[in-house]
Amino acid sequence: MKEWPLIKLSDLILSLESGSRPKGGVDKYEAGLPSIGAEHLGTNGDFNFLNIKYIPDNHYRIMKSGIVQQKDVLIVKDGATTGKTSYVGVSFPFKQAAVNEHVFIVRVNEYLAVPSFVFYFLFSDIGRRLIMKDFRGATIGGISRHFVDYIEIPCAPITQQKRIVAKIEELFSRIDAGVAALERVKANLKRFRASVLKDAVEGKLTEEWRKKYPPKEPASKLLERILSERRSKWEKEQLAKYKAKGQKPPSEWRDKYKEPINLDIANLPELPEGWSWASFDQLIERSEYGTSVKCDYSANYAPIIRIPNIVGGYLDLSDMKYSTKPLSFNDEGGLMRGDLLMCRTNGSKNLIGKVALIRHEITPSHGFASYLLRFRFVDSELLPLWVYHYLSSTRGRHFIETHAASSAGQHNISLSLIHTMPLPLPPTNEQRQIINDIEQSESVIPVLLKLLVEGNKRSNNLHQSILKQAFEGKLVPRDPNDEPTSLLLERIQAERKVNKKKKPQPNER
């Protein structure tokens, strides 16, 4: 609003401070006083203390600056999130806390301005831009203490500032309630997918369908055909190898075939009528670890699929690295449609067994990294899809997470473990129906998730729109009982004189 005077932030604050950490850092301290860094400031002016760090009591006691108080405004001073701003309100969970050397504390003079009013201005888009006018540096840039001189805040009378803050918080509260509702919908979508998969792999999803359409071939017969085809493919491969070498197969060559693992089904759950248990090993024609050849972005040999390329069960080829030397796929085999890739080692147990199914043709020149496993199924049409969905279900996840080995903070699974995994096998026509039902139910999820993302974006835009109106004087009407802004300016002038007298003389520095 034009009648509001523009006041430098430096004239509205009591102090501008930053904190410190003890020599050697804070990683070794598991208790003490919270040490707040840039990573603890949230994106919505709040805080995220999931990974809080601590400083010892003795360091806290000797700190001359950086001690957090109620109504402080905290601003990240350097790094990737420079300018991010949070407010220490009544919900701040710590009675005592300090900031580290990467965070500024802006302490507002409440005689001149409402601290939360100043915070909301700094949190607004225009406030962030003004903060960043002082940004300097390239690799790890940041702002200096002089950033407070670049920022001019339109200051309403203090009583009006309080009404503006109250209105902002009222409107923000309504928006936040809407965002919380969106997050609940998102959580419900995850539960919905998990529920569909659970019912699918237990046969409940097709329970009524099964009564109308009995199997033309029970799964036990299907498994016999798969095992016969598995052996037949192996024999063809062996004969091709002998022929390529110009050799005649020895009489006992068929005896070298390694029979797949059989299951002991005594302790396995009962399956729906027509289904059968099979081991993972019985359904695949080959499996292997990926290549250990180094890869990077600048090389120009084979493209290598890595864990970051596995996203939501699909391959994302937008972030590719390449092998640093030529790879031959004669023995290893390049990736093909129907192959299943599985993460075999990770620091998070939730990511062990994460899978991607190659659903579309990719060039066979693609390799895959050593921390992935590749499985190729005897049937490349339905079986890969069925097994992919089973591995994504709670039953599949339970097997992997309970059997994963753990060492030095890493969780691992092996080919030999996955080979022993029991898989329920429905008849072919029921597999097709289940896969169709799953994909139909899941087809709405991306659409709904897109709407949720758009809703979150709109909520952020609404926050900024409200702040824009607030500092243009359009959010609340002026009260005729508000003191004139001339009195505010007089107080600011008086404070400047006091501060000037307090300033140390050159011989006192």
Q: Beta partners for 287?
A: 375
Return d(Cα 204, Cα 242) in angstroms, integer: 48
CA-nearest of 2, 10, 3, 11 to 490 is 11
Return d(Cα 413, Cα 400) in angstroms, integer: 8
Catalogue the long-range contacts made by 346-351 (C-beta closer than 8 Å, 24 or more residues apart): 346/307, 346/371, 346/410, 346/411, 347/409, 347/410, 347/411, 348/411, 349/401, 349/404, 349/406, 349/411, 350/401, 351/307
R_g of the chain, CA atoms, integer Å: 32
Same-domain status, 344 and 450: no
Along the 509 residues of the chain, how does pLDDT read in single tens digits? 667 999 999 999 999 999 999 988 888 888 899 999 999 999 889 999 988 999 999 999 999 999 999 999 999 999 999 999 999 999 999 999 999 999 999 999 999 999 999 999 999 999 999 999 999 887 679 999 999 999 999 999 999 999 999 999 999 988 888 777 777 777 777 788 888 899 999 999 999 999 999 888 999 999 999 999 999 999 998 999 999 999 999 989 999 999 999 999 888 999 999 999 999 999 999 999 998 899 999 888 889 999 999 888 888 888 899 999 888 765 446 788 899 999 998 888 888 899 999 987 676 788 899 999 999 999 888 999 999 999 999 999 999 999 999 887 889 999 999 999 999 999 999 999 999 888 887 766 666 667 667 777 777 788 899 999 999 999 998 888 888 878 878 888 887 777 766 654 433 32
CA-nearest of 1, 59, 128, 84 to 477 is 1
User: In which domain, by residue range, is 203 found?
Assistant: 162-216+434-482
Contact 79, 99 (CB under 8 A): no
Residue 441: per-residue pLDDT: 78
Same-domain status, 55 and 117: yes
Contact 439, 431 (CB under 8 A): no
| Local structure of 448: helix, strand or coil | helix
Asked if residue 189 belongs to a domain, the reply is yes
> Which of 157, 175, 194 is the last residue before a domain boundary?
157
Same-domain status, 299 and 422: yes
How many domains is the chain built from?
Answer: 3
Same-domain status, 282 and 239: yes
> Which of 131, 157, 183 is the last residue before a domain boundary?
157
Asked if residue 496 belongs to a domain, the reply is no
Burial per residue of 264-273, b for 16 or more beta-carbon CB atoms within 10 angstroms, e otherwise: eeeeeeebbe
User: What CATH number has the domain bearing residue 110?
Assistant: 3.90.220.20
> Which of 426, 445, 470 is the last residue before a domain boundary?
426
Same-domain status, 470 and 327: no
Asked if residue 475 belongs to a domain, the reply is yes
Same-domain status, 152 and 122: yes
Residue 10: per-residue pLDDT: 93
Return d(Cα 294, Cα 442) in angstroms, integer: 37
Same-domain status, 294 and 402: yes
Asked if residue 293 belongs to a domain, the reply is yes
pTM higher than 0.75: no
* Helices assigned H by DSSP within 404-443: 415-419, 428-442
Which amino acid type is present at position 179? V
Q: Cα angle vertex 469, ends 485, 42, to 5°?
A: 105
Pairing between strand 98-99 and 33-36?
A: parallel
| Local structure of 373: helix, strand or coil | strand
* Helices assigned H by DSSP within 216-308: 219-244, 280-283
Phi/psi at 377 (5° precision):
-90, 155
Cα 375 to its chain centre, rounded Å, is 27
Same-domain status, 417 and 339: yes
Same-domain status, 15 and 74: yes
Check residue 203 and report its DSSP letter: T
DSSP 68-123: --TT-EEEE-BSTTTT-EEE--TT---SS-EE-TTEEEEEE-TTTS-HHHHHHHHH
Contact 284, 261 (CB under 8 A): no
What are the residues whose beta carbons fall under 8 Å from the beta carbon of 14, sequence distance 6 or more?
Answer: 107, 108, 109
Same-domain status, 316 and 420: yes
Which amino acid type is present at position 462? L
What are the residues whose beta carbons fall under 8 Å from the beta carbon of 393, sequence distance 6 or more?
Answer: 194, 197, 198, 200, 201
Same-domain status, 95 and 62: yes
Same-domain status, 83 and 184: no
